[in-house]
């Protein structure tokens, strides 16, 4: 069974702008999928639909068999607990240490203290930040901050990690390190969907690539390439 | 809710108040001040109400008997009065008592009565007290039908003016109290709005990692309740002091004034302020949170 299914998804904003048109996608558990396309092609809309920050105008979305659109507002948090979400701007809490930022995601879902104490160091180890646990985000480099965000996203063992331009603010070398971490997480069985502009990375990884242009899926290759000229 | 989560909420509330120390201090002071004003008004309104009730209870009907009414007629009239619904006390005033009372009232000018000679113009009368002064107007016509009764008087205009005054006092007091409660609610909700706004990033991250709305709400609710509670306690301390001082002053200068005793009145008043302060605090934060929880 597909982990993520979208059928007939369209999204037209109140302004009248149409971001997605009749999208059908099936993503199996354990896949690593890049979502590429020019700026304004509908990638961000696609990502936001996955964790129901916005709702489609038409169509259905299923995550692990659950009809996302049928969820009541008070059920949305439980959908999001199955997902790990990573943003380009990291979105860390600057007044909390690295450890606290990661533990926060577990406190919020009311995990027992013992479990938090055991799990957070494990995840920090995985992203190579064990020694930085007591530092504040302001004391870290961009790459390190993104690794904290990744640790936070995977600390609750999500079914699906959704990353929106995670290397957008990072230099190529750091981007490569971040991508290795994603690759590692994926090898451990977690499904990853990543919207990106990073041509080098997409071409290097040789994973499934879905290209969106003007709201349509124009390509869906199992071992795809970026296929556009880099924008920056 | 697990113990762990409760600890988390208390920790978060503590940190939030500490982080926004100045703001929290300002809010608590404003809440204390508004609740103090609210409490002072309540104190006045309740005392005015008490005074009105006292004055009302003093209202009585004077039943004047016909000059010809004697012996049996008087006895049966008194019996009939006592049997009327709503009547609690009937006391008779004989003609000679009435004359004596009038003399006393005239004081130094009692010589004026000499013009009357030996004649006593005062009729035999009954003073009638009723359980509910508001019913006087309905009772009077029945009294006037009793054989031997000439007329029944109760100072209609004075009583009606007084009822009007006490009604205004009660309604005006209630409106003021509601107005002040709403003002306090507004102050607390604004303060919480500022703290939520300062933490909106944190709130949105909480939403992304799957926190329920209630999980996000609790620390803010506790913060609002804490501010309302602390403000109310401070207001109560001042209020008690003010009342005791006023009471002392009034007892030494206006001994007859029917001021409510400090206990249990002040106990109820402070309890009321603390409960409403805490509830207003909770309501204030809920109002300002609604908007921010839509992520």
> CATH 3.30.70.3040 in chain B, residues?
60-153
DSSP 3-state of B77: helix
Cβ–Cβ below 8 Å for A53 and B209: no
Cβ–Cβ below 8 Å for B19 and A95: yes
More confident: B117 or B10: B10
User: Taking CA B273 as the corner, what is the angle to CA B38 and CA B10, rounded to the nearest 5 degrees?
Assistant: 125
- Provide the ipTM: 0.85
| Pick from A228, A162, A159: nearest CA to A197 | A228
Mean residue pLDDT of chain B comes to: 83
Which tokens hold the place of B41? 């008004």
- Cα(B276)–Cα(B295) distance, rounded to whole angstroms? 31
Q: What is the predicted pLDDT for the residue at A133? A: 95
The partner residue sitting opposite B208, judged by closest CB among A85, A95, A113, is: A85
Q: What is the predicted pLDDT for the residue at B204? A: 87
Could you tell me if residue A84 is left (phi over 0), alpha (psi between -120 and 50 degrees) or otherwise beta?
Answer: beta
- Cα(B15)–Cα(A232) distance, rounded to whole angstroms? 42
Residues β-bridged to residue B170: none
**Residue B127 confidence (pLDDT) above 80:** yes
What distance in Å separates residue B5's CA from the closest CA in chain A? 6
DSSP 3-state of A216: strand
| Pick from B62, B118, B126, B66: nearest CA to B94 | B126
Residue A30 neighbours by CB under 8 Å, 6+ apart: A186, A189, A190, A191
Cβ–Cβ below 8 Å for B213 and A74: yes
Cβ–Cβ below 8 Å for A85 and B209: yes
Which tokens hold the place of B35? 């609740």
Q: What is the predicted pLDDT for the residue at A232? A: 54
Whether A88 contacts chain B with CB within 8 A: no
The partner residue sitting opposite B210, judged by closest CB among A53, A80, A113, is: A80
Whether B295 contacts chain A with CB within 8 A: yes
Q: What is the predicted pLDDT for the residue at B234? A: 96
The dihedrals phi and psi of B85, each to the nearest 5 degrees, come to -65, 135
DSSP 3-state of B75: helix
Contact B133, B57 (CB under 8 A): yes
Best of A63, A77, A94, A157 to substitute, by most chain B Cβ atoms within 10 angstroms, is: A77
- Cα(B46)–Cα(B136) distance, rounded to whole angstroms? 24
- Cα(B74)–Cα(B213) distance, rounded to whole angstroms? 78
Least confident interval from B33-42, B126-135, B219-228: B126-135
The partner residue sitting opposite A107, judged by closest CB among B8, B201, B204, is: B8
Residues with pLDDT less than 50, chain A: none
- Cα(A154)–Cα(A163) distance, rounded to whole angstroms? 11
Which tokens hold the place of B250? 């009034």
Q: What is the predicted pLDDT for the residue at B248? A: 85
Taking residues B260-289, report their average pLDDT: 87
Q: What is the predicted pLDDT for the residue at A162? A: 95
Q: What is the predicted pLDDT for the residue at B198? A: 77
Q: How confident is the model at residue B241 (pLDDT cuts 50, 70, 90)?
A: very high
What distance in Å separates residue B209's CA from the closest CA in chain A? 6
Q: What is the predicted pLDDT for the residue at B25? A: 87
Span B59-97, pLDDT tens digits: 788 889 988 888 888 888 888 888 888 888 888 898 888
**Residue B256 confidence (pLDDT) above 70:** no
Cβ–Cβ below 8 Å for B210 and A156: yes
Task: Supply the DSSP string of B141-163, one letter for each residue.
Answer: HHHHTSTTEEEEE--HHHHHHHH
User: Taking CA B108 as the corner, what is the angle to CA B102 and CA B111, rounded to the nearest 5 degrees?
Assistant: 70
Query: A-B interface: how many C-beta pairs under 8 angstroms?
Result: 54
Q: What is the predicted pLDDT for the residue at B182? A: 85
Q: Fold for domain B60-153?
A: Alpha-Beta Plaits (3.30.70)
Q: What is the predicted pLDDT for the residue at B295? A: 46
Tell me, letter by letter, the H, E, C secondary structure of A51-120.
CCCCCCCEEEEEECCEEHHHCCHHHHHHHHCCEEEECCCCCCCCCCCHHHHHHHHHHHCCCCHHHHHHHH
DSSP 3-state of B192: helix
More confident: A9 or B213: A9
Span B15-54, pLDDT tens digits: 877 877 887 888 888 889 888 988 888 888 788 778 777 7
Residue A18 neighbours by CB under 8 Å, 6+ apart: A10, A11, A12, A215
The dihedrals phi and psi of B240, each to the nearest 5 degrees, come to -60, -45
């Amino acid at each position: 069974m597909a982990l993520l299914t979208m059928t007939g998804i369209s999204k037209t904003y109140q302004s009248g702008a149409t971001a997605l048109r009749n999208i059908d996608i099936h993503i199996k558990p354990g896949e690593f999928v890049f979502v590429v396309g020019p700026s304004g092609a509908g990638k961000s809309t696609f990502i936001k639909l996955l964790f129901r920050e916005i709702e489609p105008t038409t169509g259905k979305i299923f995550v692990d068999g659950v009809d996302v659109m049928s969820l009541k507002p008070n059920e949305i948090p439980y959908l999001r607990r199955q997902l790990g979400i990573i943003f380009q701007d990291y979105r860390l809490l600057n007044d909390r240490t690295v450890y606290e930022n990661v533990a926060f995601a577990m406190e919020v879902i009311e995990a027992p203290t013992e479990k938090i104490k055991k799990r957070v160091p494990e995840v920090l180890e995985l992203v190579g930040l064990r020694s930085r646990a007591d530092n504040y985000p302001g004391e870290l480099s961009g790459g390190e901050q993104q690794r904290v965000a990744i640790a936070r996203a995977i600390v609750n063992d999500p079914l699906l990690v959704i990353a929106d331009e995670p290397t957008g603010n990072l230099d190529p070398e750091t981007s490569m390190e971040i991508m290795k971490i994603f690759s590692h997480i994926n090898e451990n069985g977690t499904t990853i969907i990543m919207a990106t502009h990073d041509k080098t990375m997409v071409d290097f990884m040789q994973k499934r690539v879905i290209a969106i242009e003007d709201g349509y899926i124009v390509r869906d290759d199992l071992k795809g390439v970026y296929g556009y000229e880099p924008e920056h | 809710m697990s113990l762990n989560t409760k600890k988390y909420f208390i920790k978060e509330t503590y940190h939030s108040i500490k982080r926004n120390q100045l703001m929290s201090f300002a809010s608590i002071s404003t809440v204390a001040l508004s609740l103090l004003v609210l409490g002072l008004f309540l104190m006045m309104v309740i005392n005015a109400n008490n005074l009105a009730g006292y004055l009302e209870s003093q209202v009585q009907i004077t039943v004047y008997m016909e000059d010809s009414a004697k012996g049996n007629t008087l006895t049966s009239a008194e019996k009939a009065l006592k049997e009327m619904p709503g009547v609690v006390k009937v006391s008779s005033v004989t003609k000679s008592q009435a004359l004596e009372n009038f003399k006393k009232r005239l004081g130094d000018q009692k010589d004026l009565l000499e013009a009357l000679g030996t004649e006593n113009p005062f009729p035999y009368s009954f003073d009638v007290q009723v359980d509910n002064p508001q019913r006087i107007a309905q009772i009077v016509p029945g009294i006037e039908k009793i054989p031997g009764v000439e007329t029944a008087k109760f100072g209609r205009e004075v009583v009606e003016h007084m009822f009007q005054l006490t009604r205004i006092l009660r309604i005006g007091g209630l409106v003021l109290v509601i107005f002040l409660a709403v003002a306090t609610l507004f102050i607390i909700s604004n303060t919480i709005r500022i703290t939520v706004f300062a933490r909106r990033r944190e709130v949105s991250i909480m939403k992304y990692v799957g926190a329920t709305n209630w999980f996000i709400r609790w620390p803010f609710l506790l913060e609002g309740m804490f501010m309302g509670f602390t403000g109310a306690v401070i207001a109560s301390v001042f209020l008690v002091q003010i009342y005791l001082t006023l009471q002392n002053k009034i007892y030494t200068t206006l001994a007859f004034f029917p001021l409510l005793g400090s206990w249990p009145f002040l106990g109820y008043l402070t309890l009321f302020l603390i409960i409403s302060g805490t509830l207003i605090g909770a309501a204030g934060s809920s109002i300002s949170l609604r908007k921010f929880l839509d992520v």
